[in-house]
Structure 1
Amino acid sequence: MWKLTRPDNQHDKLTRDNLLDLEDHRLVRIESVQEDQRQVWVLTRRGHGEAKKLLEPKGIRVSVLREEKYDPVTGELLGTGYDDHAAAVTSTAAELHRAGIGHRLGFQTEIGHRLGSGFVQRADLVVRAPAAGVPVMLLEIDRRTEDAHDLVQKLHQYWEWGRLLPKDADKRTVELARSRPDAIEHVDHEKRLWRRVYPPTGREGLVPVAFVFADTTEVKVANTVAVLEEAGRRYWAPRRYDTLYPKAVTARDYRQAVPVVVTTLEQLQEHGGGAAVRRCGGVAAAGTGRRADADGRARQPRRPRPLPRPGGPRRHGGQAAPRRAAGGGAPGVHAVRAQVHRRALGGDHRAPDRRTGRGQDRVRPVPR
């Protein structure tokens, strides 16, 4: 937490003193202690109410209250298994803040996105850093406690949420969206629900999603990314433009896709803003603030034209074709000059047939 609140400090003494003072006023409490002796602090009910009064008038949403519940038989605190995940989320926010991405008040946790079915998909972390070129980004932190297909399901739910309309949408837009399954793709993003919640991203597509893996190996990350790219291709992959010249237009349409990037918490802790980031369908790039695709479109590489061979063009047998002499043809080839015979525009230009008397076409020999 001290990396997020006091990134310039070399130790956490000042942050710890502030937490102890808040604990004396019953605003925070220690929920658990990790194996590395790190303490997980959460807001109490009183502190949660004070935070809402302070932050919600400024447009900052406060996460859900972590209630203090104990097992009636053993007396152990319930819900402590989530503490490792909460620590990874806080560490991710701290490393992004140290890299210059996002203000300390620009991070929000457990932000819900309600789907049409009533299900609420909660993002682990929401980052808003317009100064760093990231107006908004949804982050999912995974300690490899979730199956890869569960992450694909989350990506699908974010894609579905980006296609919803607000409740007060005009009747014409609603009728257009209900006319056929893909009709929502013809509705501008400014009329959709996600534009009521988040600012424009500055690029094509829906709200970008980042998957951050923590406490795992490179092999597991590679296997998970392979499943994301294959099973989730419908949600992140671009499409061809609907044009009459599909071979001439090589650009891709990202307007209905969810931009997806992948990195690890260890990369953020070691390299900060220069951490290796991989984009689904693309290549790994260094720098979390960079855009893997500048214009949001992937272009097909053009085939290089073959260079001319020395000695002129080749024949089928591999021998060089004889060069044409100036003012004449190649040796052994007779040039034939065609003579044009002009005729009058009117009248019959066919010679009469001796048997029928009717005109017929006659080919005049070319005089030599």
Structure 2
Amino acid sequence: MQAPEAGAPPADVVAAKSDKYLRFFRLKSKDHRGGEVPAWRNLYPPTGREGHPPVAVVCNPGTRRGSQALKNRMNAVMTETRAIWSGSFERMGIGVENPDGYYNYANAIPILFTTLERLQTHGPRAAVWWRCGHGQWETLDSVLANPDDVDAWNKRDEERAAANATSNASANSSRKSPGTNRPPRRDRRCCMSA
């Protein structure tokens, strides 16, 4: 797919292709035990991360329209494909005071952007990737990470539990039984002169 005038495919074309990828990733097949598994798992090795394999859009901005045209195209693609890459928010906890949760990326497709020039100049392992929803150029490992997923929530929850345990321990140690702040009683027999 090419769009020579701006070096990036039109947003609606990328959105349509992303919809096709999503339908493909939802296909099921049978594993060796007869259980249903996503068909794409037979084609791609496990990545150790939640969600589907990423779709990379490599743009060749050229000189006719410039970098602003490329940014506009990227923003248009992000808007058109938000439902595909954004994940769904899962609210955790009961309190309204401090709402918390995480994004579930199990059914999301990461959409990555880069330019041919960035790849040729810096290579694919450098910070040449822009992921929809992240907001900065990142390395491939960073761009594929989900910093607001269930693992991040679990870490925050563990930190809260540790802080609460410390707070409770501190409160318990300050609650002493009555009279414990008095100095120890002297044994009067020791103080008598012989």
Q: TM-score, normalised by structure 1?
A: 0.34
Following superposition, the deviation at residue 286 of structure 1 comes to 4.0
Preserved contact between residue 268 and residue 275 of structure 1 (Cα < 8 Å): no
Percent of matched pairs sharing the same residue: 28
* Secondary structure at 1:166 match in 2: strand
- For residue 236 of structure 1, report the CA deviation from its aligned partner: 0.3
Residue 215 and residue 283 in structure 1: after superposition, are their counterparts in 2 closer, same or farther (change >3 A)?
Answer: closer
Q: Which residue is 1:222 aligned to?
A: 71
The structure 2 residue matched to 1:297, chosen from 116, 139, 148, is 148
Q: 2:50 aligns with which of 204, 209, 212?
A: 204
User: Map of 1:1-368 to 2, 5 A cutoff?
Assistant: 143=4, 144=7, 146-166=9-29, 191-216=37-62, 217-241=66-90, 243=92, 245=94, 248-272=99-123, 273-287=125-139, 289-292=140-143, 294-297=145-148
Shift of 1:294: 4.0
Structure 2 contact 87–105 (Cα < 8 Å) conserved: yes
C-alpha contact (below 8 Å) 1:205/1:258 kept by paired residues:
yes
User: Structure 2-normalised TM-score?
Assistant: 0.61
Whole-angstrom distance in 2 between the partners of 1:172 and 1:251: 29
Question: If you compute each CA radius of gyration, which structure gives the higher value, 1 or 2?
Answer: 1
Q: How many residues align?
A: 144
Kept in 2, the 8 Å contact 1:204–1:296? The answer is no
Distance 1:275 1:266, change over 3 A: farther
Q: Distance in 2 between matches of 1:280 and 1:253?
A: 15
Deviation at 1:296, TM superposition (A): 4.4
Q: Which runs of 5+ in 1 are unaligned?
A: 1-139, 174-190, 301-368
Seen in structure 2, the aligned counterparts of structure 1 residues 215 and 172 have a Cα distance that, compared at 3 Å, is closer
1:214-239 Cα distance to aligned partner (Å, 9 max, x none) = 14331222112111211111100021
- 1:122 aligned residue: none
Q: Is the 8 A contact 2:8 2:60 kept in 1?
A: no
Instruction: Check conservation: 1:141, 1:211, Cα contact below 8 A.
Output: no
Contact 1:203 1:296 in 2 (8 A): no
Give the drift of 1:193: 0.6
Deviations 1:170-227 (A, max 9, x none): 9996xxxxxxxxxxxxxxxxx1111111111221111111110014331222112111
Change in Cα spacing, 1:276 to 1:283, as seen in structure 2 (3 Å) is same
Select the structure that is richer in helix.
2
Q: Do the aligned partners of 2:112 and 2:129 also contact (CA within 8 Å) in 1?
A: yes
Paired letter, 1:147: P
Q: CA deviation at 1:150?
A: 0.2
Shift of the 145–277 alpha-carbon distance from structure 1 to 2, 3 Å rule, reads closer
Match for 1:284: what amino acid? Q
User: Once the 2 structures are TM-superposed, how far is the Cα of residue 292 of structure 1 from its aligned partner?
Assistant: 3.0
- Go from structure 1 to structure 2 and tell me whether the alpha carbon gap of 1:246 and 1:278 turns closer, same or farther (over 3 Å shift): farther
Contact 1:206 1:255 in 2 (8 A): yes
C-alpha RMSD over aligned residues:
3.2
Please tell me the residue identity of whatever aligns with 1:222: K
- Cα offsets for 1:113-138 (capped at 9, x unmatched): xxxxxxxxxxxxxxxxxxxxxxxxxx
In the alignment, the residues of structure 2 paired with residue 231 and residue 294 of structure 1 have an alpha-carbon distance, to the nearest angstrom, of 22
The 2-side partners of 1:194 and 1:220 are apart by 34
